């Protein structure tokens, strides 16, 4: 997720994609793809390509389906395989949680093109740095108590993915259900249900069926 959305940066990315598409040497070098809900990006494609999300939301999963991030419009999916502590190849898994539209760019083609236009590499590095800003902010929650970590995670989801109703009020999209909240906050589903009930009784949130409205949680 990104805490700081930069529409100008996204416009620059779209211009870059247009340039890459016009100059591609093969049809597969730059492709727009559409995915249905609950599709998983092909592992080989993740290794060979980078993706720019045009619309939709994709969750990043690590180790047995644990959700570590959500990415949406304007964000970049760019992963390289690494060796884990068992000396096995590891790479994150990307799963759509809504219908999604992405541009797939062959990594080798991009790197060759960026050697001619280094500003494109700078653009990708800027996007990566913005993601790191989020990661640094998010990592703070692992030093918190369970209660604080849950509240922090819920506020993140509201600010990054929620619909803003007024200055401090957000409504979570229906695809962010209690199971995903539990996974993202690294708590159990039982604790999630209990904590949501407490927050509602305190007037911090309002829960109506599948709709969760946040109106008193801060980072």
What is the chain's pLDDT, residue by residue, as a tens digit (219 residues)? 765 567 788 999 999 999 999 999 999 999 999 999 999 999 999 999 999 999 999 999 887 767 889 999 999 999 888 877 777 788 899 999 999 999 999 999 999 999 999 999 999 999 989 888 888 888 888 889 999 999 999 999 998 899 888 877 899 999 999 999 999 999 999 999 999 999 999 999 999 878 899 986 664
Domain ranges of the chain: 7-140, 145-214
CATH architecture assignment, domain 7-140: Sandwich (2.60)
Assess if CATH 3.40.50.300 describes domain 145-214.
no
Q: Where are the beta strands (DSSP E) in the chain?
A: 30-35, 49-55, 58-62, 66-71, 76-77, 82-83, 89-90, 93-96, 100-106, 163-166, 169-171, 205-208, 211-214
């Amino acid at each position: 997720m990104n805490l700081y959305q930069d529409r100008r940066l996204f416009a620059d990315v779209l211009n870059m994609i247009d340039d890459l598409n016009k100059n591609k040497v093969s049809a597969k070098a730059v492709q727009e793809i559409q995915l249905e809900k609950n599709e998983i990006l092909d592992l080989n494609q993740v290794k060979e390509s980078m993706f720019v999300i045009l619309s939709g939301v994709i969750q990043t999963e690590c180790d047995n389906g644990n959700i570590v991030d959500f990415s949406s419009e304007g964000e970049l999916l760019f992963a390289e395989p690494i060796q884990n502590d068992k000396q096995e190849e590891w790479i994150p898994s990307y799963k759509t949680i809504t219908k999604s539209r992405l541009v797939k760019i062959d990594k080798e083609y991009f790197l060759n093109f960026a050697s001619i236009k280094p500003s494109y590499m700078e653009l990708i590095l800027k996007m990566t740095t913005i993601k790191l800003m989020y990661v640094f902010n998010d990592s703070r929650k692992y030093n918190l108590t369970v209660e604080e970590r849950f509240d922090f995670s819920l506020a993140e989801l509201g600010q990054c993915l929620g619909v803003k109703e007024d200055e401090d009020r957000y409504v979570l999209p229906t695809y962010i259900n209690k199971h995903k909240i539990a996974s993202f906050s690294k708590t159990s589903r039982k604790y999630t249900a209990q904590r949501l009930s407490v927050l509602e009784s305190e007037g911090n949130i309002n829960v109506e069926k599948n709709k969760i409205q946040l109106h008193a949680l801060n980072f």
